[in-house]
Chain A
Amino acid sequence: MNLRSRKIQIKQPKQTPQINRFAEINYEEEEQQEEDIISKLPDALLTHILSLLPDSDANRTRILSNRWRNLWMFLPNLHFVMPFCWSVGEVNKFHDSVDTALSIRGGMPVDRFYLYCSKNCDYDRVYGWICSVVRWRVGEIELRFPADRFRVRFCWSLFRTCKTLVSLILRGEFVLDVPRDELLFPCLKRIDLVSIVYAGDETIVNLVSGCPVLEELFVERQVIGRFDNVQTFKVSSASLKRLRISFALCVLGNYRVVIDAPKLEYVYILDVMSTDYSLTKALSLVEANIKARTDSNTESVAQIVAILSPVKVLTLTDSTLMALSYVHNLNIPRFANLVKFVVGIDCLWGWNLLPTLLHNMPNLEHITFSDGLVPFPRVQYAFNMNWVPPEDVPDCLRYKMAEITICNREPVVQEEFGLIRYLLQHSGNLRVLRINSHRNDSKSRERLLSFHRSSKQSRVEFV
């Protein structure tokens, strides 16, 4: 196939071009090409440039001209989206176009294969495509299936010998069933499961246990208006390093989370439904990010925070903090290793909790108030944030604190000046206090700059 529009006859270059290609060039035709840069470039170079663009941009270029029409087929990332089809003809047309693209490549390696299936897609042909890309050493697969409840049969056995697939993303409200098998994916490092309906609790257990080198797992449970068949979310993995869960089903129930991953380094939990948490100790745990709702599961929030307290980097949202304070009644766990703390100030407790938190974080070097110091928008609140300076200055302020970042969305108000003044006055090791509020007028800036700072090397930045 010749996709080129000009005369220079150069085969689709392989990875190492041979110098003898130069000999084929006719010197005479070059002068007229001075301005026609693109047409003399080999397709390999164009596809290489295209491969550096996002999928949609790269695919959009097929409209540029006839030469560009088929270039996308040679991209290392293949991206197919089945439109909503009204007729069998449209369905077939989509399937044929995928067949064509795959056959034209003639076995070129595929880095990433993205396939979005809509209703009425032919799963036998989908199976054929997946077989092809697995043969072509695919590294990442992302599949979206529609809620065809009994039709999708995922081809597990195909991957048992696949030595290239490292990332698998599954989406869509189809029913996922995973057989119990020693080995499903020998080299898979990352799995994302988004809005899936599961056959039952054992689905995720089986999937994870079939991936001996899995390092990263993301599970988003969000299926509109129905239950996804998982009562206890259980992850047991000896290799898992990063776990992110986002649980937001609106069907009420007693949901449990059991995590047994001794090598875990990072955990992100957004959970508004689970009521019971169990986490085995992970000594390597470094970072945790927790967003939780307050009304139904305060106990479990406190449970998670207590388990995660040995981390070095911690993010707690305002609602998490609120849940924490409900349960512990200001008896906050000690965060002995914590170096960086990102916190949302809740509007119920205000700054009441701050002294206790700081006292319990003796090694804290960096604090970020992710939503500023006061609730936003300010007009909606009419209460005091209640800053009562602690009797003893917390150790972390005295010896460790180097960076304070305040992501305000409104100009600094009177109440905040008091807290900021306290922080500047007592942070002996401070390098920078950053205030993210572009609408501070020059007067309030001057005032902030005039506060006494115990650290001589410190500066105040407005960003």
Chain B
Amino acid sequence: MSKKTLTLMSKDKQLFNIEEHLAVQSVTIRNMVKEDGASSVIPLPRVDSETLALVIEYLNRQQAPEEDEDYVKKFVDERGEIPTLLELAQAALDLDIKKLMDAACMKVADLIKDFTLEEVREALRIENDRTPEEEKAIRDEFQWAF
């Protein structure tokens, strides 16, 4: 059986080739291949090329099953930047690659776990749209968490 290749297109229109048997680790792609053979290019309009390159790198890994867990962990550890990890998690969610999504989310959680609220806002670039009064009301209501 010859190895079939699929082409994925990122949102900035870059093309990536990947062998089909590796690509179908993504449940989303697997379903597409099943449905219409997916002979042409598969567009991924929410995934930018850098993130897609990472996803492809991940899908192309050649790890023994028992080392896979460690590999995934190391793979996300090396991308310690929160924005990158979130993009990766988002792509993994869209493509339905559970292991990668779980690992990326776990890494983000690990990183923000010891942050103050202000640091979390900064890391995740959240705009504080609360008045101080509203904030105080929440603090009072959920004292146990603060």
A: residues with CB less than 8 A from B are 13, 16-19, 21-22, 25, 27, 30, 35-38, 40-42, 44-45, 48-50, 52-57, 59-69, 79, 81, 83, 97, 116
A37 touches B130 (CB 8 A): no
Interface string of B90-103 (1 = CB under 8 A from A): 10011010000100
B137, closest chain A residue (CB):
A63
List the A side residues contacting B117 at CB < 8 Å: 60-61, 63-64
Closest CB in chain B relative to A31 CB, distance in Å: 10
List the A side residues contacting B31 at CB < 8 Å: 19
List the B side residues contacting A53 at CB < 8 Å: 109, 112-113
B45 touches A27 (CB 8 A): yes
Interface string of B24-59 (1 = CB under 8 A from A): 000110011000000000011110000000000000
- Knowing A17-B94, A22-B44, the reply to whether A68 touches B89 (Cβ < 8 A) is no
B142, closest chain A residue (CB):
A59
- B80 in the interface, Cβ–Cβ < 8 Å? no
A16 touches B96 (CB 8 A): yes
Taking a contact as CB atoms closer than 8 A, the residue among B45, B89, B96, B141 that contacts A45 in the complex is B89
B105 touches A65 (CB 8 A): no
Q: Once bound together, how far apart are the Cα atoms of A50 and B105, in whole Å?
A: 9
A45 touches B105 (CB 8 A): yes
- Knowing A49-B105, A66-B129, the reply to whether A60 touches B146 (Cβ < 8 A) is yes
Contacts A22-B43, A22-B45, A53-B112 known; 18 new A-B pairs at CB < 8 A: A16-B28, A22-B94, A37-B125, A38-B86, A38-B124, A45-B86, A55-B145, A56-B145, A56-B146, A59-B142, A59-B145, A61-B117, A64-B117, A65-B127, A65-B128, A65-B130, A66-B130, A83-B141
Q: Give the top 4 A-B pairs by smallest Cβ distance, nearest first.
A: A52-B109, A81-B144, A59-B145, A56-B145
List the B side residues contacting A55 at CB < 8 Å: 145
7 contacts between A and B (CB under 8 A): A25-B46, A44-B93, A52-B106, A57-B113, A65-B121, A65-B127, A66-B130
